[in-house]
């Protein structure tokens, strides 16, 4: 188990649950082997046991090869790498039926609903991922879903008040499972009593940890995941392209505004607006 960023004198406790969480890593190569229905049901049931505020989620499971190929047009080739694709959705429709069954109408503002619904769906998804991992499966979230809301709603027959949150590919890992990937040091995540803003040295230390781990693994090289520069010559090779450069290019130069306007328009099409 990884404890390299421990600052305290005492060893942290561990057990099989902690180890499973600490050793999980996204898997991007899969065997050509189906996931049995009872295994699928087990992991979705485990997902469903996550804490919730209103059970505001649904998941669409897609096994059909031709449909997964269509999804690859939206999510990229990862969508067909595993035998199974899941679309995790935020679902107000279902909750509102439960509310209506007792003679009432949902009165909450949709932004507040999203804050809660996104949590329900996310905790569901992560519980499901850990359960899958514990049964020898591997998975990887695919984040493009929200930006293809209209197309995915059409493809999956989503009614109004249901919106795609994230894709997930799932299957049996091919070859050796990747080891756990680095994270920002614990003392920059957990603050006691009050928030402590990061100094320049903290930022450098965090990026140092992240870059070293991912460059050592050849993470972006294997993914061919370098984000092209929009301006100027790209002098970085995969020997020095790390997480810091990646997030900086991802959030610092892509036209996020374009994604945001399509997201708001697609949410509106699904009857979600505030």
Ligand X SMILES: Cc1cc2nc3c(=O)[nH]c(=O)nc-3n(C[C@H](O)[C@H](O)[C@H](O)COP(=O)(O)O)c2cc1C
CB nearer to ligand X: pick between 144 and 244: 144
Does residue 189 touch ligand X according to CB under 6 A?
Answer: no
Total residues binding ligand X (CB under 6 A):
11
| CA neighbor of 181 nearest in space, from 221, 207, 222, 217 | 217
Q: Under a CB-based contact definition with an 8 Å cutoff, are residues 155 and 191 in contact? A: no
What is the contact mask toward ligand X in residues 18 to 47, using x (rule: CB under 6 A)?
-------xx-x-------------------
Q: By CB under 6 A, which span of 39-47, 142-150, 151-159, 194-202 interacts with ligand X?
A: 142-150
141 binds ligand X (CB under 6 A): yes
By CB under 6 A, the residues from 162 to 181 that bind ligand X are 166, 181
Q: Does 142 bind ligand X (CB under 6 A)?
A: yes
What is the DSSP pairing of strand 138-142 with strand 162-171? Answer: antiparallel
**Which of 28/205 has CB closer to ligand X?**
28
Which region among 59-67, 139-147, 253-261, 262-270 touches ligand X (by CB under 6 A)? 139-147
Residue of 136, 143, 160, 252 interacting with ligand X (CB under 6 A) = 143
Report which residue's Cβ sits closest to ligand X. Answer: 143
Considering beta carbons, is residue 100 or 260 the nearer one to ligand X?
Answer: 260
- Out of 140, 168, 209, 272, name the contact with ligand X by CB under 6 A: 140
Binding to ligand X by residue 118, rule CB under 6 A?
no
The nearest distance, CB 78 to ligand X, in angstroms, is: 6
What is the edge-to-edge ordering of all strands in the sheet holding 138-142? 57-62, 84-91, 162-171, 138-142
How many angstroms separate the CA atoms of 161 and 268, rounded? 9
Q: What span, in angstroms and rounded, lies between the C-alpha atoms of 96 and 181?
A: 40
User: Which residues fall within 8 angstroms of residue 243, CB to CB, at 6 or more apart?
Assistant: 182, 207, 210, 211, 214
Closest alpha carbon to 198 in 208, 190, 207, 188: 188
The number of CA neighbours under 13 Å toward the Cβ of 199 is 4
For residue 62, the SS3 value is: strand
Nearest to 71 by CA among 271, 62, 172, 186: 62
List Cα–Cα distances, 255 to 164, 251, 260, 263, 265, in angstroms. 21, 9, 9, 13, 16
| CB nearer ligand X, residue 159 or residue 225 | 225
Nearer to ligand X, 144 or 271 (CB): 144
- Residue 5 or 106 having the CB closest to ligand X: 5
- The structure tokens 């290019």 sit at 249
Q: Which of residues 220-239 bind ligand X (CB under 6 A)?
A: none
- Provide the binding-site residues for ligand X, judged by CB under 6 A: 25-26, 28, 78, 140-144, 166, 181
């Amino acid at each position: 188990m990884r404890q390299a960023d421990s600052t305290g004198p005492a060893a942290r406790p561990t057990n099989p649950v902690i180890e499973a969480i600490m050793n999980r890593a996204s898997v991007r190569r899969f065997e050509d082997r189906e996931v049995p229905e009872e295994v699928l049901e087990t992991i979705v049931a485990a997902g469903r046991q996550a804490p919730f505020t209103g059970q505001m989620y649904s998941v669409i499971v897609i096994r059909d090869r031709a449909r997964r190929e269509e999804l690859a047009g939206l999510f990229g080739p990862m969508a067909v790498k595993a035998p199974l694709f899941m679309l995790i959705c935020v679902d107000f429709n279902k909750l509102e039926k439960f509310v209506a069954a007792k003679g009432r109408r949902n009165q909450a503002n949709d932004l507040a609903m999203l804050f809660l619904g996104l949590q329900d769906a996310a905790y569901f998804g992560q519980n499901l991922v850990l359960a899958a991992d514990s049964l020898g499966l591997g998975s990887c979230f695919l984040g493009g879903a929200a930006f293809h809301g209209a197309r995915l709603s059409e493809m999956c027959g989503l009614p109004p008040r249901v919106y795609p949150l994230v894709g997930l590919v799932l299957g049996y890992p091919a070859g050796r499972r990747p080891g756990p990937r680095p994270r920002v040091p614990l003392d920059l995540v957990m603050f006691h009593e009050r928030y402590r803003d990061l100094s320049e040295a903290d930022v450098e230390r965090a990026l140092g940890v992240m870059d070293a781990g991912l460059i050592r693994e050849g993470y972006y090289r294997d993914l061919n995941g370098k984000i092209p520069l929009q301006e100027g010559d790209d002098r970085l090779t995969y020997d020095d392209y790390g997480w810091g450069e990646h997030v900086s290019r991802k959030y610092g130069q892509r036209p996020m505004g374009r994604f945001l306007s399509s997201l708001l328009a697609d949410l509106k099409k699904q009857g979600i607006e505030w």
